[in-house]
Each structure stands twice: as C-alpha cells, then as structure tokens.
C-alpha cells in the first residue's frame, strides 16, 4: 500500500519523513514529525494513533524501541501494522507485521528506516535506503530522492495516487509544531514527480520569503540578494518579480523597480493595485 522513509539528519538535527501510496491523501495519517522529539510512519492497515502516541512516549523519555513495544503490546491488530520511528538522537525502531501484504519489509541504516508494503517488487525498501545514503543536499532533498527511487524500483502495486514530505527543523528549542518543509499531494496521476516539483517550488518560495521579510524591515542588501536569487530560479513567477521590484524601490532605484514590475506582471490590474497600495502604506518607502 505504501512506500516511505523516516530519518534524522545528524548534522542539522532535522527530522523528516517522505511517503507515497496508491491511496488518497497519505499525508493525513501516515507521517508524524515533531521538532526535537522524533518522526514516525504508521502504515499498512494504518492506525493513525501510533503517530501522536509514539511522539508522546518519546517526549516523556522512552526510546523508540520502548515506545513501539508499548504500542504493539496493546494492539490486537499489530501484525497488520507497519511502523517506523526515529528520535532526535538517531535511535530507530521498526515493525513489519506478519499480516502485511507482500511484498513487505524494511531496511535500517544509521538514523534512518525505509519501509514498504504491497510493493511491486521485493527489496524496494533496500533501494530507498541506498538512494537516501547516496543522495546529497538537505534532508528534504534526500528523502524525496529515496521515495523516487522506490517508486521507480516497483512502487505501489496499485500505482501511485498521493505523496507527502514533512521535515521539522533541528534543535530541541524549536517549537514542536514548526516545519522546515510540509508538502502534500492528495490526488495526482504522478504524485512522486509532483512532490519533487513542489520541493523545487518550495525552495524558490523560501528565498522569496526571506527577501520579503527583509523588504518589510528595511534590510535592503539582504532583500536584493534573496529576491535576485528567487527571480533567477527556474520556477520564478509574477510574485517573485513584484517583490524584486519592491527591493529595488527600497534601494532607491524607482526606474529599475518599474521596469521589473512591468516585466513580471505586464498589464495585470491586480498587481498594479497591490503595488500602489503597498507604496501608499509606506511599506515600500525608500530610506531618506
């Protein structure tokens, strides 16, 4: 039914999961992540309570093995479950019940677990673990690479319908609800490819968000750097150009700002109205 991976990045402390399946809205019940605590996947005959209950147990000082053992012992349908847990120290625990539909299995690495059931081929979980280990870049990118490799190696017997990627920032001081990345594809003919596209788009919006925050607080140089990078991104859009123009105006170059705005938004009346309203509110007033 589902292919997924859960991992800790020991360098950043980030915790994350990625998953895809042949069922709608997999991000609703399968992946659970809490900054500074752990990450959990609960699938096969999914029991969503394994997610928050595992995190509760980790938060209270239990190891992943202790947390999983407690929940399995209380569950009369444990052999129909597949569950993987990693905590903020990189300790892991995993259970693939004997009642999970083949091909089903899991593979464990250092601070990472790949799991699958109802897969199109045996060993898909090994392929995902290997892909994660050989990938580079941020945790979100490596998780996405692993799920993509699993999909290409056999995927879900029914085909794919939905996917999700959740990464919490590192550090126990972070609020538990914070997310570095939180992407969901609830129903799509190619959810794994769409997940990768949205991750690219997320990176562009991250740059743009940094630039917008800098614009609104008058940090001109930081705004220009971030928004130029966002504008140069392959997935840049009209909004990117709008805020790049805002940074240029803040820097005192009104001619360049108008040119950038026209190039990005054309004759769209909505963007022009937003531009005038932003200027009249004083948000885009250049320093005197």
At 155-169, the pLDDT tens digits run 888 889 999 999 999
Average the pLDDT over 127-147 and give the result.
Answer: 98
**Is there a domain that residue 74 lies in?**
yes
Percent share of the chain, pLDDT over 90: 87
**Is there a domain that residue 288 lies in?**
no
Query: Could you tell me if 131 and 272 lie in one domain?
Result: no
Query: Could you tell me if 177 and 232 lie in one domain?
Result: no
**Is there a domain that residue 287 lies in?**
no
Sheet with 15-21, edge to edge strand ranges: 105-109, 112-117, 2-8, 15-21, 162-168, 181-185
For residue 14, name the pLDDT band (cuts at 50, 70, 90): very high
Query: Could you tell me if 72 and 140 lie in one domain?
Result: yes
pLDDT of 284 reads 77
Query: Could you tell me if 226 and 176 lie in one domain?
Result: no
pLDDT of 171 reads 75
**Is there a domain that residue 196 lies in?**
no
Query: Could you tell me if 217 and 177 lie in one domain?
Result: no
**Is there a domain that residue 143 lies in?**
yes
**Is there a domain that residue 185 lies in?**
yes
d(CA 219, CA 132): 38
Query: Could you tell me if 99 and 216 lie in one domain?
Result: no
Average the pLDDT over 237-248 and give the result.
Answer: 94
CATH of the domain at 111: 3.60.20.10
Out of 14-28, 146-160, 192-206, pick the least confident: 146-160
Out of 183-187, 206-210, 214-218, 223-227, pick the least confident: 214-218
pLDDT of 286 reads 65
Average the pLDDT over 69-98 and give the result.
Answer: 98
Question: Residue 288 corresponds to which tokens in the numbers above?
Answer: 């005197």
**Is there a domain that residue 39 lies in?**
yes
Q: Which domain, by its residues, includes 209?
A: 203-280
pLDDT of 173 reads 78
**Is there a domain that residue 72 lies in?**
yes
Query: Could you tell me if 81 and 222 lie in one domain?
Result: no
Domain count for the chain: 2
For residue 25, name the pLDDT band (cuts at 50, 70, 90): very high
pLDDT of 131 reads 98
Mark which of 135, 167, 189 sits at the end of a domain. 189
Query: Could you tell me if 29 and 170 lie in one domain?
Result: yes
Q: Is 274 a residue whose pLDDT tops 90?
A: yes
Query: Could you tell me if 45 and 154 lie in one domain?
Result: yes
Query: Could you tell me if 138 and 165 lie in one domain?
Result: yes
Mark which of 164, 189, 214 sits at the end of a domain. 189
Q: Is 1 a residue whose pLDDT tops 70?
A: no
CATH of the domain at 238: 1.25.40
Query: Could you tell me if 209 and 177 lie in one domain?
Result: no
Mean pLDDT over each residue of the chain, to the nearest integer: 94
pLDDT of 288 reads 58
């Amino acid at each position: 039914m589902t292919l997924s991976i859960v991992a800790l990045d020991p360098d950043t402390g980030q915790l994350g999961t990625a998953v895809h399946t042949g069922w709608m809205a997999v991000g609703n019940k399968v992946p659970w992540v809490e900054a500074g605590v752990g990450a959990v996947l609960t699938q096969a005959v999914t029991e969503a309570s394994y997610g928050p209950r595992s995190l509760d147990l980790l938060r209270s000082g239990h190891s992943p093995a202790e947390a999983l053992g407690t929940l399995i012992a209380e569950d009369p349908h444990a052999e129909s479950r597949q569950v993987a847990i990693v905590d903020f120290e990189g300790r892991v625990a995993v259970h693939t019940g004997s009642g999970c539909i083949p091909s089903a299995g899991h593979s464990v690495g250092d601070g990472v677990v790949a799991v699958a059931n109802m897969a199109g081929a045996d060993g898909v979980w090994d392929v995902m673990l290997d892909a994660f280990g050989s990938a580079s870049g941020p945790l979100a990118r490596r998780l996405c690479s692993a799920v993509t490799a699993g999909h290409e190696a056999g995927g879900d017997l029914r085909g794919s319908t939905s996917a999700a990627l959740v990464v919490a920032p590192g550090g126990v001081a972070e609020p538990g609800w914070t997310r570095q990345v939180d992407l969901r594809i609830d129903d799509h003919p190619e959810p794994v490819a769409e997940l990768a596209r949205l991750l690219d788009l997320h990176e562009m919006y991250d740059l743009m968000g940094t630039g917008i925050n800098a614009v609104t607080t008058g940090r001109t140089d930081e705004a220009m750097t971030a928004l130029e990078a966002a504008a140069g991104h392959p997935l840049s859009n009209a909004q990117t150009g709008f805020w790049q123009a805002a940074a240029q105006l803040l820097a005192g170059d009104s001619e360049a700002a108008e040119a950038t705005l026209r190039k990005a938004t054309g004759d769209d009346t909505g963007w022009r109205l937003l531009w005038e309203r932003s200027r009249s509110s004083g948000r885009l007033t250049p320093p005197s």
